[in-house]
């Protein structure tokens, strides 16, 4: 059992203390992140891009995810571990159950699924079977080919209305947490206030219950040399990676990150 549990995160939401979440993919970074006070470690399928060098997350397999989850578990010092179910790993009920079980057995405390209202049934089935779920709304990288690229989602009123409705429906289905990616700040704040579960943002402004970044991004490492608008380089002014990780947690907690320039307008 991790030191940080779902009950902890729920208490943080209720008290107004921000949740610091960061990706890690190996034991060393998991140890460093948890020592810095990161509440939640996300073993993201973003590893397909930052570790494997792919141009999207689509090539990542469940077996690869399980390998990295197990590595993170061995280095983690009390953070809650969330693991992405990768592309097409939850297309059928049988796949969803089997692949989620693999990640939980590898050491995850929660799995994350990308989608919209259609996630309600798999979330319900997983929650019934003791597997907590984080639902990922907004920009969902696994659907990049449908979305036509990495674009802000929810700027049109109909789209925003649907996202609000989806968030509430997925909470009702049993989602234990929401992640909003590249969503207008005002909409993300509305959704955060409309649901009772913790909401984590990335490119969603400061009105969510917490923040997540890809660890490589916040350390100023990039294969392309171009950082997304919502990223801040926390190595600036620090003389160690550990210092940068600690600075990130402090900035999330004191709400100096994200600043207005890291968010998007409608």
DSSP state of 197: S
What is the Cα–Cα distance from 104 to 85, expressed in whole angstroms? Answer: 11
Q: What is the pLDDT of residues 128-171, one digit of tens each?
A: 999 999 999 999 999 988 887 788 999 999 999 999 999 999 99
* Cβ–Cβ under 8 Å, residues 122 and 113: yes
* pLDDT computed for residue 78 by the predictor: 97
Domains of the chain in start order, with CATH, are 6-262 (3.20.20.60)
Q: What is the pLDDT of residues 90-127, one digit of tens each?
A: 999 999 999 999 999 999 999 999 999 999 999 999 99
Average pLDDT along the chain: 96
**Residues 6 or more apart from 38 whose CB is under 8 A from it?**
20, 21, 22, 79, 245, 248, 249
Q: CB 115: neighbour CB atoms within 10 A?
A: 18
Answer yes or no: is 84 a known binding residue.
Answer: yes
Mean pLDDT, rounded, for 165-194: 98
* Cβ–Cβ under 8 Å, residues 219 and 248: no
* pLDDT computed for residue 145 by the predictor: 87
* pLDDT computed for residue 120 by the predictor: 98
* pLDDT computed for residue 2 by the predictor: 67
Structure tokens at 102: 């693999």
**Percent residues over pLDDT 90 in the chain:** 94
The catalytic position among 171, 181, 186, 261 is 181
**Residues 6 or more apart from 39 whose CB is under 8 A from it?**
4, 8, 9, 12, 19, 20, 21, 79, 80, 210
| DSSP H/E element including 41 | strand 40-43
Structure tokens at 6: 């779902």
* pLDDT computed for residue 36 by the predictor: 98
Four-CA torsion 50, 55, 56, 60, nearest 10 degrees: -70
Tokens 């960061």 belong to 22
186 catalytically annotated: no
Q: What is the pLDDT of residues 15-58, one digit of tens each?
A: 999 999 999 999 999 999 999 999 999 999 999 999 999 999 99
What is the Cα–Cα distance from 194 to 178, expressed in whole angstroms? Answer: 12
For the cut 80, the answer to whether the pLDDT of residue 67 exceeds it is yes
Answer yes or no: is 114 a known binding residue.
Answer: yes
Which residue from 209, 215, 226, 110 is spatially nearest to 167, judged by alpha carbons? Answer: 209
Local structure of 250: helix, strand or coil = helix
Q: CB 54: neighbour CB atoms within 10 A?
A: 14
* pLDDT computed for residue 97 by the predictor: 98
* DSSP bridge partners of 111: 83, 133
* pLDDT computed for residue 86 by the predictor: 98
What is the Cα–Cα distance from 194 to 167, expressed in whole angstroms? Answer: 9
* pLDDT computed for residue 102 by the predictor: 98
Local structure of 98: helix, strand or coil = helix
């Amino acid at each position: 059992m991790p030191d940080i549990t779902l009950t902890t995160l729920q208490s943080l939401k209720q008290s107004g203390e921000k949740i610091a979440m960061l990706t890690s993919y190996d034991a060393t970074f998991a140890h460093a992140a948890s020592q810095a006070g990161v509440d939640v470690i996300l073993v993201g399928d973003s590893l397909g891009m930052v570790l494997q060098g792919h141009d999207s997350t689509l090539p990542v397999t469940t077996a690869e995810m399980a390998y990295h989850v197990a590595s993170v578990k061995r280095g983690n010092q009390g953070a809650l571990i969330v693991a992405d179910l990768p592309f097409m790993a939850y297309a059928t009920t049988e796949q969803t159950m089997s692949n989620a079980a693999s990640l939980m057995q590898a050491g995850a405390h929660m799995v994350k699924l990308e989608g919209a209202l259609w996630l309600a049934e798999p979330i319900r089935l997983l929650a019934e079977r003791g597997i907590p779920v984080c639902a990922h709304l907004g920009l969902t990288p696994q659907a990049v080919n449908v979305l036509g690229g990495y674009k802000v989602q929810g700027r049109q009123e109909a789209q925003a209305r649907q996202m609000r409705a989806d968030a509430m429906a997925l909470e009702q289905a049993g989602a234990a947490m929401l992640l909003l990616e590249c969503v207008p700040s005002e909409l993300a704040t509305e959704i955060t206030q409309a649901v009772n579960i913790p909401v984590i943002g990335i490119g969603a402004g400061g009105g969510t219950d917490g923040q997540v970044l890809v660890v490589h991004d916040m350390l100023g490492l990039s294969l392309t040399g171009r950082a997304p608008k919502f990223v801040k380089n926390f190595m600036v002014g620090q003389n160690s990676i550990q210092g940068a990780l600690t600075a990130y947690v402090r900035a999330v907690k004191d709400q100096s990150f994200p600043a207005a320039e890291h968010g998007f307008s409608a």
